[in-house]
Amino acid sequence: MVVPFSVQLPPPFDLSMPTTCIRGTERSWTCAAVYHWTGNADVAHAANWLIGKPLAIAWLVVLAVVGRWLLFKVIDRLVARARDGVLPSKLARGPFAEPAGDTAQHRRAQRALTIGALLKSIATAVIFVIVGFMALSELGYDIAPLIASAGIIGVALGFGAQSLVKDFLSGIFMIFEDQYGVGDSVNLGDASGVVEAVSLRVTRVRDVDGTVWYVRNGEIVRVGNQSQNWSRTVLDIAVGYKEDVARVRRILKEVAHDLWEDEGYRDKIIEEPEVWGVQSLGPDSVVVRVTLKTMPQKQWVVAREMRERIKGRFDREGISTPLPQRIVYGDPTSPPAPADGQS
């Protein structure tokens, strides 16, 4: 005996979009699925706001994070290539080629890292601005007026905040051109000292007295960098007119050479020191110039040590420093002036 057996299959799922889930150009599949399951339009719309839109925004955020991560990987690879010297080596034959050595390598790495941080900041800002507009569009807001308003606001800012735009553009070019970086000793005109921070808008400099200066990048007309690639110690040594200049030059050469041979200063002085000779003739002294090419920001340490050694050597050699001279003119035939209290 065969017992008839039948299985009741569920009706096929309806993939058509109900009209209640269509609002303008917006079509919600979450609303459609819940409406087909429940047949209640209010529940479908509530599910769309509680489930569909948060999931869509979360998906946008995930895409933004993944896209940002991928862009950061690309930027890191470019920074690594620039830091290792791949890009600068192609330009090494140009008139602005950097000198070889550890100093140039460190400088190139510092510039590459700074540019990489700038590119990452720009990429992050652009990605999350786009995601913000897409999230507002997902919530049902018309972003066309917002985009138009953003354009108008940008034009207004361009005219009303020209100094701010100037500061940002100047900061970008300063970073890309490697005019200075954190740790450099610079002269910006009214402010001079060691750079503590560089941003797109301002540069923070601390002078020798400890004062912190905030200089807007758009107001920097000239930059004197005292610690880029190499520095130089320039010493003007004054001696009396009675001293033998050739002997003084020989002694200065010996003192400078001893400093060059000193193991404690071999990593600070780059080249053999030079005695340039008589720099000027003053009213009471002859000035002889000595120069030493040093590592960046080591010129002051070398200068202090050089002065101490010159002072000690001059004392041993009996070379006198110039003394102020004064010539008094008088009439030898005139009688001497009476002493105080005498008439």
pTM > 0.85? no
Q: Outline which parts of the chain fall under CATH 2.30.30.60.
A: 176-225
Burial zone of 269 (CB within 10 Å; 0-12 exposed, 13-18 middle, 19+ buried): buried
**DSSP state for residue 271 in the 8-state scheme:** S
- Alpha-carbon span 217 to 140, nearest angstrom: 42
The least confident of 8-17, 205-214, 248-257 is 8-17
Express each pLDDT in 229-251 by its tens digit. 788 889 999 998 888 999 999 99
pLDDT beyond 50 at 203: yes
- Alpha-carbon span 253 to 83, nearest angstrom: 39
Cβ count near 91 (within 10 Å): 11
* Domain 45-90+100-160 = CATH 1.10.287: yes
Q: Outline which parts of the chain fall under CATH 1.10.287.
A: 45-90+100-160
Express each pLDDT in 27-60 by its tens digit. 554 555 555 566 555 555 555 555 656 777 777 8
| pLDDT of 342 | 55
Confidence of residue 225 (pLDDT cuts 50, 70, 90): confident
Percent of the chain with pLDDT strictly greater than 90 = 17
* Domain 176-225 = CATH 3.40.50.2000: no
Query: By the 8 A CB rule, do 275 and 235 touch?
Result: no
Q: Average model confidence (pLDDT) for the chain?
A: 75
Tell me the chain's radius of gyration from C-alpha atoms. 38
Identify the top-confidence range among 119-128, 172-181, 268-277, 334-343. 268-277
| pLDDT of 70 | 92
- Alpha-carbon span 233 to 92, nearest angstrom: 28
| pLDDT of 123 | 85
More confident residue, 166 or 276: 276
SS3 content of the chain, % helix, strand, coil (to 5): 50, 15, 35
pLDDT beyond 60 at 269: yes
What residues contact 30, with CB distance under 8 A and at least 6 apart?
Answer: 47, 48, 51, 52, 55
Query: By the 8 A CB rule, do 249 and 237 touch?
Result: no
- Alpha-carbon span 236 to 303, nearest angstrom: 11
Confidence of residue 332 (pLDDT cuts 50, 70, 90): low
* Domain 231-317 = CATH 3.40.50.720: no
pLDDT beyond 80 at 155: no
